[in-house]
Amino acid sequence: MDPSPSTPDAPIPKLGWIGLGSMGQAMALNLQTHLSHTNSPPLHIYNRTAARGQPLLAIGAISSSSIQALLQAVDICFIAVSDSNAVTSIINTILEVPAADLHQKIIVDTSTIAPGTSAWAQGCLRERGASFVAAPVFGASPIAKEGKLLVILAGADKAVKAVEPFLVGVLARKTLYLGEDAAKASLLKTTGNFLTAGFMELIAEAHVFAEKTGLGSDALESLVEHQYGPLPFAMSKRLTGGFYLPKRDERPWSDLNLAVKDVGLGVECAEKVGTRLPVADLVLSHLEEARRYGEVNGRALDSSSMYGVLRERAGLGFESEVVRRRDGGDGGLSGL
């Protein structure tokens, strides 16, 4: 059953969306599809590159000329952008909306940002009579397309309740609510990114070990599937399927540059409280090495591309056999 966007006595809220990268576009498409199916008002969208909005306009969304124009037309506005700087810029632009037009609006940020940025945004918007809900998501773009993300929520209870009908069954498989402090959601997302990156590093190392010893990837992947569960298995398939090094004309499932930013956030948060994340330091060094490889070879890389770095260090070559076959043997890629 589709979640109900309102009670019989309450008007259906008008929704907006800012940011149409790989994740944002996938989530916005699911949301507009849901709004169409429930005869709700269409989604208002804004993105700096207007062409990214074409798939949404084709299914009924409405384009806004500016962030301010979008805010004045909606009750709830979702944000999906790349980093804290982008969120800060958008919030500052939102704060330029006249106070009377901003009153009781709800801003929902799905981005992965520093906890301090979430706390700042929540405080600034509260002063203007608006609400901020931190709602960072777990899942790469294929999971976003399926509407099966895990959403971490933090914000005022009333605002969260207003947003929830548009999450589970639309964008997400489940939500976790952490209370009113928006910074807690960003902190849990940062912690989760550290865990994810560590798991990926471990699985990548194991696959290189399996190839070098002659055990083979198939045997290892079978063990991962049946002993360690669906998340490590999905990570393993990301490597063995060649997705760590996308085709030249394809976007990565999860951009390497964002992974560097996300793991770096964990390192920074740890330093601020007087501790360290040694595994994160190791992962970050491998991601930085992969980024240099991508720059030299003009390739967009996935966040799992530490696998290629580990392969090269073991004398196997950045490209796996699966990648070479997929690309027709047209590697010609230089080393680091």
Q: What per-residue confidence (pLDDT) applies to 11?
A: 83
- 5 domain residue, yes or no: no
Q: What per-residue confidence (pLDDT) applies to 249?
A: 85
DSSP for residue 225: I
User: What pLDDT, in 10s, does the model give residues 22-70?
Assistant: 999 999 999 999 999 999 999 999 999 999 999 999 999 999 999 999 9
d(CA 44, CA 233): 38
Domain extent, residue 234, equals: 187-326
Whether residue 335 has pLDDT greater than 50 = no
Residues 167 and 191 occupy one common structural domain: no
Spot the catalytic one: 105, 184, 189, 261. 189
Residues 170 and 230 occupy one common structural domain: no
Q: What per-residue confidence (pLDDT) applies to 336?
A: 39
Strand partners, 44: 16, 62
User: What pLDDT, in 10s, does the model give residues 222-278?
Assistant: 999 999 999 999 999 999 999 999 998 898 999 999 999 999 999 999 999 999 999
Residues 29 and 169 occupy one common structural domain: yes
Q: What per-residue confidence (pLDDT) applies to 44?
A: 98
User: What pLDDT, in 10s, does the model give residues 282-310?
Assistant: 999 999 999 999 999 999 999 999 999 99
Give the CA-trace dihedral at 254, 257, 263, 269, to 10 degrees: -130
Residues 196 and 169 occupy one common structural domain: no
- 57 domain residue, yes or no: yes
Position 9 confidence tier, pLDDT thresholds 50, 70, 90: low
Residues 90 and 228 occupy one common structural domain: no
Position 2 confidence tier, pLDDT thresholds 50, 70, 90: very low
For 72-129, give the secondary structure using H, E and C: HHCCEEEECCCCHHHHHHHHHHHCCCCHHHHCCCEEEECCCCCHHHHHHHHHHHHHCC
Contact (CB, 8 A) for 107 and 174: no
Residues 246 and 144 occupy one common structural domain: no
CA distances to 67, 107, 140, 307 from 75, rounded to whole Å, are: 13, 9, 28, 44
Whether residue 6 has pLDDT greater than 70 = no
- 313 domain residue, yes or no: yes
Burial status of residue 91 (CB atoms within 10 A of its CB: 0-12, 13-18, 19 or more): buried
Mean pLDDT along residues 123-134: 97
User: What pLDDT, in 10s, does the model give residues 181-226?
Assistant: 999 999 999 999 999 999 999 999 999 999 999 999 999 999 999 9
> Catalytic site residue 189?
yes
**Which among 180, 202, 218 is the end of a domain?**
180
Q: What per-residue confidence (pLDDT) applies to 67?
A: 96
Residues 91 and 222 occupy one common structural domain: no
d(CA 233, CA 200): 10
Strand partners, 220: none
For strand 76-79 and strand 15-18, is the pairing parallel, antiparallel, or unpaired?
parallel
Q: What per-residue confidence (pLDDT) applies to 329?
A: 65
- 261 domain residue, yes or no: yes
- 54 domain residue, yes or no: yes
Residues 114 and 205 occupy one common structural domain: no
- 10 domain residue, yes or no: no
For position 280, which CATH number holds? 1.10.1040.10
Residues 109 and 36 occupy one common structural domain: yes
**Which among 148, 180, 212 is the end of a domain?**
180
**Which among 180, 205, 226 is the end of a domain?**
180
The total number of residues written for the chain in this structure: 336
Mean pLDDT of the residues in the chain? 94
Whether residue 8 has pLDDT greater than 60 = no
Q: What per-residue confidence (pLDDT) applies to 331?
A: 47
Residues 100 and 205 occupy one common structural domain: no
Position 328 confidence tier, pLDDT thresholds 50, 70, 90: confident
Residues 60 and 142 occupy one common structural domain: yes
* Phi and psi angles of residue 112, each rounded to the nearest 5 degrees, phi first: -95, 110
Question: In which element (H, E) is residue 44 found?
Answer: strand 44-46
For position 131, which CATH number holds? 3.40.50.720
Q: What per-residue confidence (pLDDT) applies to 332?
A: 45
- 288 domain residue, yes or no: yes
Residues 266 and 283 occupy one common structural domain: yes
Closest CA to 199 of 234, 223, 227: 234
Tally of domains within the chain: 2
DSSP 129-179: T-EEEE--EES-HHHHHHT-EEEEEBS-HHHHHHHGGGTBTTTEEEEEE--
